[in-house]
Every structure is written in structure tokens, then in C-alpha cells.
A and B are shown apart, each in its own frame.
Chain A
Amino acid sequence: MAKVIVVTSGKGGVGKTTTSASVATGLAKRGYKTVVIDFDVGLRNLDLIMGCERRVVYDFVNVIHGEATLKQALIRDKRLANLDILPASQTRDKDALFKDGVEKVLNELRKTHDFIVCDSPAGIETGAVMALYFADEAIVVTNPEVSSVRDSDRILGILSAKSKRALDGDDPIKEHLLITRYDPNRVQTGEMLSIDDIMELLGIPLAGVIPESQSVLTASNSGIPVIHDEVSVSGLAYQDLVERLLGEEVPIRFITPVKKGLFKRLFGT
């Protein structure tokens, strides 16, 4: 059975697209046929993070409106043969997505793929609701910061009230908390909400902690999802996340403060 996983947050800029790219890549690396869909209509960015921006011809909205076939719009990842990207359109208005159209595309993808990862736009408007509506699982991306935690809580409310599973009375969407841009040193000095604080506030199981790390920027600069970077803490933390999503028990790493030596200060993490 194919699984639809939405990566959502409410708040903008917390790491949804970074996470979508790495989770999709990680699942494909593990051998699952995976597709990652950009729901951010008008603000396409997933293509850049996946490094396929120059190969975009047709997009998600074209497919929904019958202007292109799914096959024409899917972009095969250049590193992994079992990974596809469905880009968002750059021009159309937000109402370009509608439920029946999205459902048709998802149902078609369910036949050919094991995992469908949906990169949600920020906010709680149409685009975000479309991205989460058909989800089986949700990764709620949260930064250790007040407004992000509050917005994650609002998104959790929407997942449990307005999603298809909620409205149909099916089993609820399986929720995963992902804390990103975590800085153990600042947590230790009492300047940043801790993992326990956030878990207590949001009350959903923790699926991963991605530390604040410079390699995320390096990865996006070069269009290679950070999970490919096997020497960076964030790359490894994303690998752990993927394993947990697949049901494996993996301890959380990189959450204890590190003393920054001269070397690290000079060369970064």
C-alpha cells in the first residue's frame, strides 16, 4: 500500500522543503519507489533543492488541469532511478489546486509508487490544506521557537479536524514531530526551548531532531539534498529520521552540546 506523507508546519521557512527533499531521497535510497510533490504553487522551490530546476517543463497544475500527462510532468532524479519529482507551477494563482484534481493525481501515483511525499506551502490556506488533506502520515516541522511551536499546534488541529481521514472517520493521520535547526548549546544555556519542552507542548511522538548546520546551505547551493552528505550531522540526522519513518528504532543523535574548539570555529560544523 502506497503511503502519502505530508511535510507541514504552518510557519514559513522552518525547513519543510529541505525535509521533503531529504526524506524523499532517503526513502528512495532505501529502495522504495518515491515521488516528491511541490504544493507551493506560485513559489516553486523544491526543484532547486533537488537540483532539477532546468529540467522542469510541465508541472503539477498542468497535470491537474489536463494540459499534460503525469508521465510528461514527472522528473526522474538524476542520482536515483526510483525517485521522481513533481514540480509546482510558478505562475498560476493559489486556486489552481482543487481537491478532485489533487486526488486524481495522488490515486494515479499510488498505483506506481510506494511513497508520495507532499511538500506543503506555509500558512493554513488552500495550498497547505490541499497538501495535508489526503495524507496518511504527517511530518510536523518545528523550530525551537515560540511562533513555530504555536503554528505547529494549529496545523495539528487542522490535521485532526479537516483532513480526509478526520472527516471520513478513518484512523487518524499518523503524526511525527520533527524538530529542525536545533542548537544544543543554546538549549543548555537556557536560551532555546528543549526537545522535552516542545514534545510536552505539542504532545506528539518525536521522529527526529535536525541540528542547525551549515551543510544545509551548502547542500541547497549545489542542489543536492543534504541527506546525500554523509559527513554532516544534518545529513545523518535525516538518515535517522527516514529509518524511524520506516519503523526502525534509532536513538536520537547530535543533541548534546559540543564544545567548539578552534578547529571547529575555523572550519564550521
Chain B
Amino acid sequence: MAWEPRLIVIACQWCTYQGADLAGSLRYSYPPTVHIIRVPCSGRVEPEFIAEALKKGADGVFIGGCHFGDCHYKEGNYKAIRRFKLFKRLATDLGVEPERIQLEWISGSEGKRFAEAMTEFDAKIRELGPNPLKGGANV
């Protein structure tokens, strides 16, 4: 069977998750390779979550949170971006392709942007090919 990417999207329940919902109600289509996990806030996303997804064979991990100023818990997204950037530097230095991990702020009203972002992410990962970590690294 031809390879199909598996994309994990970790979405904040107050914004990106609702953006996904809106994309659905407005019938914007986005690739079926996307698997969404809902979290209370992007500040809840630990580097371990991203690593775990990659280790278990996700071909890409996308984190979606509220725009600055809109985080329900005020500072969760500021913390999220610091952690994300530092994790990305660490992982990239160790040879993980930086394109496999992304973060973007997508609000609940940006259904269209959500669908676009997913389509772009899917295309980028198809270009990159399967995650070389699959079954390879330490478990």
C-alpha cells in the first residue's frame, strides 16, 4: 500500500480546535491524514508529547493555539512558544527535520485558515516522506 502521512495536530480547545470545528461546519475540506488531539491550552503541550508522537511514527506534529492576548489562561501560549522553540532547536540539532514540527496560532473564527494550514502541512510532509524515526530510535 502506498505511504500516507499521519499528522498529529495538538489543538487548544478554545481556539484551534474550534477553528477545526468551524472548518467542518463551513465544509472547507482538509486532508484525512490529520488526527486532532484536543488540549485545554497550548501551554499544556510538553516537549514529551511531541517526542512521543514522533517516536510512535507520526510523520508531522502541528501545535495550534490562541493568538497572543487571546489565551484563556493569559500566558499559556507564551510558555508554549518558548518550549516549542527550544524543543525544535534541540530536535533539529539531533537530526529531526524541522519541517515535521510546527506551531501556529489559529483562532476559533479562522476555519478557513485551519483548512489551509492542514493542506499546506500535509503537502510539506508528503514532500519530506515518511518519518525516519518510525521503529528506529529508542523506545
Q: Do A and B come from one complex?
A: no
Binding site for B on A (CB under 8 A): none
